[in-house]
Amino acid sequence: MTKTLNYPMLPLVRSVLAILPFITNAHSSTTENNSLRNVRLPEAASLYNFDDLRSLEGEEIDSEALFSPRSIAESPVLLAAQRHEKDLRPPTILAASFLSAVNLSQLSEKKISLRHATEARVLSIDGGGIKGLLVLELLALMEQKTGKHTTELFDMIGGTSAGALIATLLTIKDPKTGKPKFTARSLKEELMKHYPNFFVTKWGSFCGIMKEKYKVTPARNILTKLAGEALFGEAIIPTFVTAFNVSGESKYHKLSILGSYTHNDKGKTVIDAALSSMSAPVFFKPHQSSDGNIYLDGGLVANNPSLLAYCQAKEYFQHASRLVLLSMGAGSFSDHASSRKFLHTGLIDIGPELPNMFLQGQQSITQETLHYMPDVSDFRIDPILEGDKIELDDTSQKAMDHLSVTALRWWGDHPDKVDEILKRVTHV
């Protein structure tokens, strides 16, 4: 009878010690790649369900990938070992990782990017409608300079509204190649091609006064072309989106975080997850998800989700002693208007400014809070957009070109900040 390994510490320690002599030779601190070719698994290995390991003999793997942030977080056994002995020696970590069925699936991939065991990198993307193209241009420049895909530069990615669209589509795996379906550049090009048909006016909406301004079907059809039937839970790296749950009575309305790594959300389609975060009031009708809940745009409560990204990463990467968090805004407009307009606060005077004031206040609180967190190195990119204001649904070529030019200008004007960010996410 095959015994089942339990996670209390005593069985864990016994199991690690039992196989440690057989696998110590598989670890090398001086070479980049290690082979399982010389690892002899004893007959006792079958007691711990190690049969699958035999299929890995001869594979060239990166030993550091065995205890990456994602590997540790997804391995109950390895996580337990990490908590028991914070300063685990590599052979011990390697031994514990062999006890994880989750890690075994990752071992079969020959190319696994290096991750640092004590530091996790997180990408947070604001909402902003069409302005998300600015974020994609900056990510494309990062991918170009590093030669790495966004999912190799970060261990987790999350977003709100347009940021959710970017996060979910960038982490889709191509079923034929097993690699990301889109680069930041190719995704930007696809969205620029489809955006003019994304916002189709609904007859009788009267500019969103009587009912939502746009039909949701064209947007859904475009998402179907891009994402197909991909499942949220198949994301290449842990991915989350924010949404505002308006199901039931108003007193129960609340912020919801949908994660590719959570039991309730992993079975959803990418389209379902994205629409849950993108259904902005006035623009689109609320989205009824496959879980039965009704969601509005996450920007109502967390247009800048970086603080939520911090919380999600701390919960997911429990072993990580430090986070590197890159928060990307979709561009802010410089307001040169006199502060005299705030001398009167009647609805006519200040009403048009209220939505933007709420967003700015929320963002200030978020960034200030992160600044005082001792265990995170946070970076914020939010280029200033000069000229006429670009509306969230402005799909004109002029607007899209302006966003690209702004991103390129910011990149060229901030070489030191770019280098610092890339150094932190690539460990070079």
pLDDT tens digits along 34-75 = 333 333 333 333 333 333 333 444 444 444 454 455 555 555
Residue 248: the pLDDT is: 80
Task: Identify the band that residue 261 occupies on the pLDDT scale cut at 50, 70 and 90.
Answer: very high
CATH superfamily of the 119-426 domain:
Cytosolic phospholipase A2 catalytic domain (3.40.1090.10)
Q: Could you read off the pLDDT of 162-198 as tens digits, one per residue?
A: 999 999 999 999 999 999 999 999 999 999 999 999 9
Distance between CA 114 and CA 111 in Å, rounded? Answer: 9
Under a CB-based contact definition with an 8 Å cutoff, are residues 126 and 163 in contact? yes
Q: Domain ranges in the chain?
A: 9-107, 119-426
pLDDT reading at 257 higher than 60: yes
* Buried residues in 69-80 as b, exposed as e (16+ CB within 10 A): bbbbbbbebbbe
- What is the rounded distance in angstroms from the CA atom of residue 418 to the CA atom of residue 240? 25
- The Cα–Cα gap between 212 and 144 comes to 39
* pLDDT per residue as tens digits for the range 182-191: 999 999 999 9
List phi, psi (to 5°) of 257.
-115, 115
Look up residue 389 and give its two tokens.
């204001």
pLDDT: which is higher, 321 or 87:
321
User: From CA 238, how far away is CA 251, in angstroms rounded?
Assistant: 30
State the amino acid at position 93 in one-letter form.
Answer: I
Give me the pLDDT at residue 377, please: 92
CA distance 285 to 233: 25
pLDDT band at 367 (very low <50, low <70, confident <90, very high): confident
Q: What percent of the chain is predicted at pLDDT more than 70? A: 62
pLDDT score of 237 more than 90: yes
Q: Tell me, what's the pLDDT at 158?
A: 98
| Contact residues for 115 (Cβ-Cβ < 8 A; gap 6+) | 64, 65, 68, 69, 70, 71, 155
pLDDT given at position 353: 60
Q: In sequence order, what are the residues at sequence separation of 6 or more whose Cβ sits closer than 8 angstroms to the Cβ of residue 163?
A: 124, 125, 126, 127, 128, 132, 135, 305, 328, 330
pLDDT in tens, 300-341: 888 999 999 999 999 999 888 899 999 999 998 776 554 555
